[in-house]
A and B are shown apart, each in its own frame.
Chain A
Amino acid sequence: MDRQLTFRLPDGYDERRITGELENHHFIRKEESTAASFAIYDTFDWRLFHQSLVLHVSEGDLILYRLPELTVVQRAKITNPPVFAWDFPEGELKMLLAPIIEVRALMKLAEIHSQSTAYRILNQDEKTVVRFNYEETRSAHQPEAPILPDHLCVKPIKGYGKYYRKLVSRLVEMGCTTIRPDKIYFKALETVGKKPGEYSAKLRPQLDPDMRAAEATKVILRFLLKVIKSNEHGIKADLDTEFLHDFRVAIRRTRAALSQIKSVFPAETTDRFRRDFSLLGKLSNPLRDLDVYLLKEKVYKAMAPATFRGDIEPLFDFLRERRLKALEDVINGLDSEQYSEILKDWETFLNEPPDNALTASHADMPVIDLAQRRIYKKYRRVVKTGNRILGNAQDKQLHELRIECKKLRYLMEFFSSLFPNDKISILIKQLKKLQDNLGDFNDFRVQKEYLENIADEFPVTDQQSRRTILAMGSLIGTLDKESQIVKSSFSEIFTGFVSPSNRRLYVELFAVEKARTAL
């Protein structure tokens, strides 16, 4: 079937002129014109856009379109503007969106007012054979400026393609040009200063192998600073938990870069900012812990034995209350003079021209050499630490190994653009498997300890709170059991990580000449 087309009018044409000229050839009936407005929604990190999806909210309707044709994928009725996937009405739209947006909040990005006048072309029987709309669009933010020039949307009717094609060729003859259907999406976002996909926390700085190590490190750090700054607003507004998560990861990566990319900056600079970012990281530890807990509310409730399921509720009420306080502390921290001073000094340092900066021993080294050296060394460390504890791993040792792996992961990500993509991707994937195992174990352990601490503080005043404590006890038991299960699979996963094929790849990419020949 023919598809809907959008036409831009030739210069000098308006609604009256174009319909007037069409009337010479077609029997046209004008209908009422309707005003409508719709808003475009996406998450802060453009998850829908990355899946070629566009979500419109118009009054009580939620409509999901697919780019670039803007074909309707799903619709649903809503009573409140959408925020989280779990608030959506049950149905196909929810099933489609939930795995994409996960825990992220949907935000209204742009609002568009449109005025649309419907026209119908009729045949001798006065049957409608083609429809077209004359459309005017205005941005809600700048009501004066049209988002797109006025345009015609021509819609075919099933079984009457002949009339449709006739109208389309007539419009083309008149000088109308087609507009891509997704243009309105990009234009509407442009009017509010947004570019789809502009924010991403994924670290992919493009480095040149011959770049000075100090300069390359600054490129990485500038990217991370941008991530830190762009998440502040969402944390303060408490839009969703991912703002804080991205913010924290960027801070952790900054710290890792400062400690792991060694001797590219003067020692005192490195020391100072390492202290500063360690402080910034600690600032939000309590809030993140609570976020993790509350995000798992459903899982925990399912973990508790059936008889206690209702009794676990007060724990989460207690945690929610605590979270409010923790959020307040973070917001105060972000608003503090100390915070803005640290970031200001950091930015100044990152933007200093190279010749002004004091140099350090590795500053002028080509970044590729430093990258190889650091990654290979860290890899050896991970292998050594892991081998030592294989078979009889203590909790503390697993924790240490987890930290080493994290450093290795960050180093590989910082410098991934310097190595063949297919090969480094394999290594990162392999490492991630190990990290997931260590991470799961750590999560269970931390959550167990957290519960133990909470249990000490939880006010026991009545029968109910006593039962809640009991429920927490059973939860601690379950978490302990789960952590043991994860721990028992460590050996196998680590053996996969140190497999000969993986090792060869590390040597090939990162080992310097000596190590390579020694093989």
Chain B
Amino acid sequence: MKTLAIYSNKGGVGKTAAAVNLSFLAAQAGMKTLICDLDPQSSTTYYFRVKPKLKSRAKGFIKGGKRIAKSIKGTDYENLDLLPADLTHRNLASTFDKLKRPKQRLRRILDAVQNEYDLITLDCPPTISLLAENIFNAADYLLVPLIPTTLSVRSYEQLLSFFKKNKYDTDKVYAFFSMVDKRKKMHNEFMATVLQEFNGILQGSIPYLSHVEQMGIQREPVPVFAPKSMATKSYQDLWQEVNLTILT
């Protein structure tokens, strides 16, 4: 079992879209996959048409164990289950803080279900709080969507320096370009520079495409409602690369 967190400390970079589509493609490839929606905004949960409510509420979530398994919902797709978000997730960081070993809580929570899955993906809220550290400890790998802009890359640098300062392993951090506009000269130049400067940047990138935005209307992964689209192709290529270079 591998745990892959789709994480960024910056919002609006295509995290949820990547988490949903990559998890769907993993499940299609035959991996028993669980996608965990940790974002109180519950976009992933919405995409799968599931109610953003945990059966056991926040208390049950924090205690983990069997209560987690009971909250898991089967999605409309084979091999893919969802641990829905809950509004109370907005307080996760402060709740964890009151407990023992507050940075290891999420790992403990997921331990209870890890035997049932080949892959657990985490759709994370944009934060670098205590919850983020829980994610860093629970995940085997981090996958960071990067928009080729100064601000996005700057926050990526912040993440890496946070990792170094707090002695997390930077080797488990990977990034890919997201919401890329190939027509913008600036995007292309930027990507070239970043590829030279950082390790762990994947070749596959996700262009800025309307099909990705339509996920909110269709409430389905892109490969389901637009199987032949450029967006699907991009996510498939990215999934191949994630599977070959990160997971295996």
Which A residues touch B51, using CB under 8 A?
Answer: 125
A128 vs B48: C-alpha distance in the bound complex, in angstroms? Answer: 10
- B70, closest chain A residue (CB): A159
On chain A, the residues within 8 Å of B50 by CB distance are 125, 127, 159
CA distance A349 to B50 in the complex (A): 75
B73:A158 contact, CB within 8 angstroms: yes
Q: Which residues of B contact A159 (CB under 8 A)?
A: 50, 55, 71-74
Q: How far is the CA of A7 from the CA of B219 in the complex (A)?
A: 32
Q: Which residues from 56 to 83 on chain B have a C-beta closer than 8 Å to any C-beta of chain A?
A: 71-74, 76, 81
Point out the residues of chain B lying under 8 angstroms from A157, CB to CB.
Answer: 73-74
Q: Does B49 contact A (CB under 8 A)?
A: yes
Let me know if B74 and A160 touch, CB within 8 A: yes
A158 near B74 with CB under 8 A, answer yes
Contact B71 A127 (CB under 8 A): no
Q: A126-B49, A158-B73, A159-B74 are in contact. List 20 more A-B contacts (CB 8 A).
A: A120-B76, A125-B49, A125-B50, A125-B51, A126-B219, A127-B49, A127-B50, A127-B76, A157-B73, A157-B74, A158-B72, A158-B74, A158-B81, A159-B50, A159-B55, A159-B71, A159-B72, A159-B73, A160-B73, A160-B74
Nearest CB of B to A122, in Å: 9
Q: Number of contacts between A and B (CB, 8 Å)?
A: 25
CB distance from A504 to the nearest CB of B (A): 52
- A to B CB contacts below 8 Å, 5 in the list: A128-B76, A157-B73, A157-B74, A158-B73, A159-B74
CB closest chain-B residue, reference A157: B74
Interface code B213-248, partner A: CB below 8 Å = 1, 0 otherwise?
000000100000000000000000000000000000
CB contacts (< 8 Å) of A127 on chain B: these are: 48-50, 76
Interchain CA distance A128-B55 in the complex, whole Å: 18
Complex Cα spacing A127 to B219, Å? 10
Select the residue from B48, B49, B55, B74 with max chain A CB neighbours within 10 A. B74
Interface mask (B29-57 → A, CB under 8 Å = 1, otherwise 0): 00000000000000000001111000100
Closest B residue to A124 by beta carbon equals B49
For residue B220, which residue of chain A has the nearest CB? A126
Which among A157, A158, A159, A160 has the highest number of chain B CB atoms within 10 Å? A159
Nearest CB in chain A to that of B77: its residue: A128
- Can you list the 9 inter-chain pairs with the closest CB atoms, starting with the nearest? A159-B73, A127-B49, A158-B74, A157-B74, A128-B76, A125-B49, A158-B72, A159-B74, A158-B81
Chain A residues within an 8 Å CB radius of B219: 126
Q: How far is B77's CA from A126's CA once the two chains are assembled, in angstroms?
A: 14
For A158, the closest partner residue in chain B by CB is B74
The chain B residue sitting closest to A156, CB to CB, is: B74
Complex interface residues of chain A between 300 and 338 (CB less than 8 A to chain B): none
Which residues of A are found within 8 Å of B49, using beta-carbon distances?
Answer: 125-127
Given the complex of chains A and B, what is the CA–CA distance between A127 and B72 in angstroms?
Answer: 15
B residues near A126, Cβ cutoff 8 Å: 49, 219
B83 closest partner in A (C-beta): A159
Contact code string B70-100 (vs A, CB < 8 Å = 1, else 0):
0111101000010000000000000000000
**In the complex, chain A residues whose CB is within 8 Å of the CB of B55:** 159
Q: Please, which residue of chain A has its CB at the minimum distance from the CB of B46?
A: A125
Instruction: With CB as the reference atom, state the residue of chain A lying closest to B49.
Output: A127
How far, in angstroms, from A127 to B77 measured CA to CA in the complex?
11
Contacting residues, chain A, for B72 (C-beta < 8 A): 158-159
Could you tell me the distance in whole angstroms from the C-beta of A29 to the nearest C-beta in chain B? 10
- Residues of A202-226 at the interface with B, using a CB-CB cut-off of 8 Å, are none
**A-contacting residues, B99-122, CB 8 Å:** none
A159 to B48, CA, bound (A): 13
Query: Which chain A residues numbered 110 to 156 have a C-beta less than 8 Å away from chain B?
Result: 120, 125-128
Determine the chain A residues whose CB is within 8 A of the CB of B81 once the complex forms: 158
Select from chain A the residue with minimum beta-carbon distance to B51.
A125
Nearest-neighbour CB distance to chain A for B112, whole angstroms, equals: 15
Tell me the complex Cα distance, A219–B48, Å.
67
Q: What is the CA–CA distance of A257 and B71 in the complex, to the nearest angstrom?
A: 67
CA distance A158 to B48 in the complex (A): 14
Residues of A within 8 A of B48 (CB): 127
**Chain B residues whose C-beta falls within 8 Å of the C-beta of A160 in the assembled complex:** 73-74
- A126's nearest neighbour on chain B, judged by CB, is B49
Name the residue of chain B whose CB is nearest to the CB of A128.
B76
Q: How far is the CA of A160 from the CA of B51 in the complex (A)?
A: 12
The complex places the Cα of A160 from the Cα of B71 at a distance, in Å, of 10
Q: Give Cα A159 to B76, complex, Å.
A: 12
Bound-state Cα–Cα, A232 to B109, Å: 61
Cβ of A77 to closest chain B Cβ, rounded Å: 9
Interface membership of chain B positions 169-192, coded 1 if the CB is closer than 8 angstroms to chain A and 0 otherwise: 000000000000000000000000
Nearest CB of A to B237, in Å: 22
**Which residues of the partner chain A approach B73 to less than 8 Å between Cβ atoms?**
157-160
Chain B residue at minimal CB-CB distance from A129:
B74
CA of A160 to CA of B74, assembled, Å: 8
Q: How far is the CB of A34 from chain B (nearest CB, A)?
A: 14
Contacts of B71 in A (CB 8 A): 159
Candidate in B49, B50, B51 with the most chain A CB atoms within 10 angstroms: B49
User: Which residues of A lie under 8 Å from residue B76 when comparing CB positions?
Assistant: 120, 127-128
